[in-house]
Amino acid sequence: SPLNPLFQAMESEISAAFDSGEPEDILSRAFKLTVTREDICTLQPLGWLNDRIMNFYMGLLVERSKKEGYPAVYAFNTFFYSKLSSASHKGVKKWTKGVDIFEHDVILVPIHLRIHWTLLVIDLREKTIKYFDSLGQKGDHICKTVLKYLEEESREKRNIELTASEWTLHSMGTEEIPQQNNGNDCGVFVCKFADFISRDKPIIFTPEHMPYFRRKMVWEIIHQQLL
């Protein structure tokens, strides 16, 4: 309830993040990323989430996955897919230096398509690659590009041939996942798809939750803690 003092304290903190101070003020620092007030302001209603907010939030999801009872999650940053699609495996093979992505359960790949955010999810337990787009576009070619990457990464890093035929690739349909009802919320959808998936939870939110999710993300990023 709005009378709850904790809720009021959070609300005033969120408003202050938007309204007081200079655009270049640093409001959070973690995961080798610095988040400024200007970045945080992209979480205002109808704001367009930028790479820093997306990558910071993915960092929070990965951090949470280290706790007991969560699937082990790895997240690529938002520049990974565009580099992979332009330069193939050799262009990104250094990105996983010192990391065996195959030791994880779930790999999140946030994707920036010029003016739209989408999410690709690799589930290594189920051998599935799923594509989540809150505008309902298909990403079958993106799934294939990433499967090819996994094959090359597996061969190069651990000398194991993946059997492509064992893998299921699927673009989520509009009846399977919630869809945005404006031109601005795709980034929030991607973050929340990733949030639910990284807890092995069914995706049950709706576009009506977006204003609340935006405010909650402000608090979570500033405090570097998921609620």
Q: Is 186 a catalytic residue?
A: yes
* pTM (two decimals): 0.93
Specify the amino acid at residue 120.
L
184 in Cβ contact with 117 (< 8 Å): no
Mean pLDDT of 131-140: 96
C-alpha to C-alpha distance for 166 and 128, rounded to whole angstroms? 9
Q: What is the pLDDT of residues 10-33, one digit of tens each?
A: 888 898 999 888 999 998 999 999
Q: What is the pLDDT of residues 29-77, one digit of tens each?
A: 999 999 999 999 999 998 999 999 999 999 999 999 999 899 999 999 9
Candidates 39, 112, 143, 186; catalytic one: 186
- 180: closest CA among 215, 211, 216, 217? 211
Helix (H) or strand (E) holding 153: helix 140-158
Q: Which is it for the CA torsion 211, 56, 196, 12, positive or negative?
A: negative
Q: Categorize the per-residue pLDDT at 2 as very low, low, confident or very high, splitting at 50, 70 and 90.
A: low
Q: What is the pLDDT of residues 172-198, one digit of tens each?
A: 999 999 999 999 999 999 999 999 999
Note the CATH architecture for domain 8-223. 3-Layer(aba) Sandwich (3.40)
- The domain ranges of the chain are 8-223
Q: Is 39 a catalytic residue?
A: no
What rounded mean pLDDT belongs to the chain?
Answer: 93
Assigned token pair, 217 = 């993300």
Candidates 89, 116, 170, 209; catalytic one: 116
Q: Is 143 a catalytic residue?
A: no
